[in-house]
């Protein structure tokens, strides 16, 4: 794992590479994904079944749907302890997202006009739940709960089922959440089917959830025909720490993201060179103990870095530039620095707040902007499953007050019918 020093003459060049980590190589898969989606648009289920046979290696001989019976059997088979943990996660995530609910509002103006905003849930939401290198029941909770809280009528789950097998814990989580519609299909095929519909899978209004580069590219291509949450890339963590932190703990936290994927990123920024080297040593001591050590090692050595800054001010400046998905501030006075953090998907404060607690049951959503997109994207939330309609009502008094100005603006833009539509009400 490389250690970069901010006072090195080549630091800016190396740091720019870290900032530009979001350059997903979509161009290499764009043609493949476009063909997948276009085939689904033309041939529907027939194309979908062929793609499942090709990519997931099983023949669709009956329905793609996952039955409620499969979900319940899986739930019944897991331990009571695991059921309780799922329930705790569900309740905490639900309580947090209930605080995000917006309400319809009206404003009554002095001239009699009424202005406002109507908040409405989308009718159908499609949730993409990965199933590649690992199974992620937690991703189902994080995507389904805000949709449930928003009041979405139909929630559709798609997840890859290599060899027709779906992870038991994921099925159990579907049962807990009351999912009624789920399908064994993944990748760009799932995104295309949800976006445009087939005989089996009806079109949705919004697609959320993380995935690999094929999923990310597909979401980018269908955006506009449906809404999406964000274009998510590989997982990442950034840690700002001083020597009050435990190097062993920080090393584990950095590895917690590295074990996700070979192209995941882990960054430590500190102004203590001795602490930086201690963390690096701990990482290499821990790597051989991990079940996914080969994945984690590739991430640590190719996509990650420890940065030694000159002081805390520069540490914060550098981390804001990285705009990471998960940010830990591991200092004794972590809350003092919170106002200065501008760009991060989720912020974890203090020595006893590992990123993993947010992945599962702290409450806030773990579907977060990656690759620096925290500069302009927000975490998944209830708002992703709702839409806003403006409300406008005028009476004669308000038209008399505003009509002349409105006509002037319409006339200046050369839109005569606009001007006339106000004029006939203004003059009567």
Catalytic, 325? Answer yes
**Residue 86 corresponds to which tokens in the numbers above?**
């799922």
- Please write the tens of the pLDDT for every residue from 29-61: 999 999 999 999 999 999 999 999 998 888 888
Domain 2-22+234-362 CATH superfamily: Nitrogenase molybdenum iron protein domain (3.40.50.1980)
Annotated binding site for Zn(2+): 257, 260, 359, 418
More confident residue, 117 or 164: 117
Q: What are phi and psi of 45, to 5 degrees?
A: -60, -35
- The C-alpha atoms of residue 87 and residue 153 are separated, in whole angstroms, by 22
Catalytic residue, chosen from 97, 175, 249, 326, is 326
Domain 25-231 in the same topology as domain 2-22+234-362: yes
Best CA proximity match to 317, nearest among 332, 307, 331 = 307
Q: What is the pLDDT of residue 318?
A: 98
Order of strands across the sheet that contains 386-393:
105-108, 114-121, 386-393
- Please write the tens of the pLDDT for every residue from 183-233: 999 999 999 999 999 999 999 999 999 998 999 999 999 999 999 999 988
Q: Residue 84, Cα to own-chain centre: how many angstroms? A: 26
393 CB-near residues (< 8 Å, 6+ apart) = 113, 114, 115
Annotated domain spans of the chain: 2-22+234-362, 25-231, 394-427
Q: What is the pLDDT of residue 25?
A: 72
With beta carbons less than 8 A apart as the criterion, state whether 300 and 275 touch.
no
Give 25-231's CATH code, choosing from 3.40.50.450, 3.40.1160.10, 3.20.19.10, 3.40.50.1980: 3.40.50.1980
- Please write the tens of the pLDDT for every residue from 119-135: 999 999 999 999 855 56
Annotated binding site for substrate: 235, 257, 260, 326, 359, 413, 418
Q: What is the pLDDT of residue 243?
A: 95
Catalytic, 326? Answer yes
Q: What is the pLDDT of residue 238?
A: 98
Q: What is the pLDDT of residue 428?
A: 73
Catalytic residue, chosen from 236, 262, 282, 325, is 325
Q: What is the pLDDT of residue 148?
A: 98
Phi-psi region of 156 (alpha: psi -120 to 50; beta: other; left: phi over 0): beta
Give this prediction's pTM: 0.93
């Amino acid at each position: 794992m490389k250690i970069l020093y901010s006072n090195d003459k080549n630091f800016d060049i190396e740091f720019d590479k870290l900032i530009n980590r979001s350059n997903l190589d979509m161009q290499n898969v764009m043609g493949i994904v476009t063909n997948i989606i276009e085939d689904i648009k033309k041939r529907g289920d027939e194309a979908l079944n062929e793609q499942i046979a090709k990519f997931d290696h099983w023949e669709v001989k009956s329905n793609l749907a996952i039955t409620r019976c499969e979900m319940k059997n899986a739930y019944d088979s897991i331990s009571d302890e695991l059921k309780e943990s799922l329930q705790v996660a569900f309740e905490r995530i639900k309580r947090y997202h209930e605080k995000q609910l917006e309400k319809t509002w009206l404003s009554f103006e002095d001239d009699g006009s009424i202005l406002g905003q109507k908040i409405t849930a989308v009718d159908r939401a499609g949730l993409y739940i990965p199933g590649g290198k690992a199974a992620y029941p937690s991703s189902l909770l994080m995507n389904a709960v805000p949709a449930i809280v928003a009041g979405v009528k139909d929630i559709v789950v798609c997840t890859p089922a290599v060899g027709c097998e779906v992870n038991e814990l994921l099925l159990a989580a579907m049962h807990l959440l009351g999912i009624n519609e789920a399908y064994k299909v993944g990748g760009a095929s799932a995104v295309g089917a949800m976006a445009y519909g087939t005989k089996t899978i009806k079109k949705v209004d919004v697609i959320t959830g993380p995935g690999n580069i094929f999923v990310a590219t597909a979401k980018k291509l269908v955006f506009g025909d449906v809404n999406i949450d964000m274009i998510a890339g590989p997982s990442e963590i950034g840690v700002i720490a001083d020597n009050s932190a435990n190097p062993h703990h920080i090393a584990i936290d950095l590895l917690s993201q590295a074990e996700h994927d070979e192209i995941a990123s882990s960054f430590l920024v500190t102004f203590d060179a001795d602490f930086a080297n201690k963390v690096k040593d701990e990482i290499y001591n821990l790597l051989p103990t991990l079940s996914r050590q080969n994945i984690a090692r590739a991430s640590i050595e190719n996509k990650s870095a420890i940065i030694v800054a000159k002081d805390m001010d520069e540490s914060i400046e550098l981390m804001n530039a990285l705009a990471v998905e998960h940010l830990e501030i591991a200092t004794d006075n972590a809350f003092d620095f919170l106002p200065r953090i501008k760009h991060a998907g989720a912020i974890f404060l203090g020595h006893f707040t590992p990123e993993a607690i947010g992945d599962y049951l702290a409450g806030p959503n773990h579907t977060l902007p990656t690759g620096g997109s925290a500069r302009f994207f927000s975490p998944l939330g209830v708002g992703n499953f709702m839409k806003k309609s403006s409300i406008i009502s005028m009476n004669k008094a308000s038209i008399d007050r505003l009509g002349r100005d409105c006509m002037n603006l319409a006339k200046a833009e050369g839109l005569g019918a606009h001007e006339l539509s106000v004029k006939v009400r203004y003059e009567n």
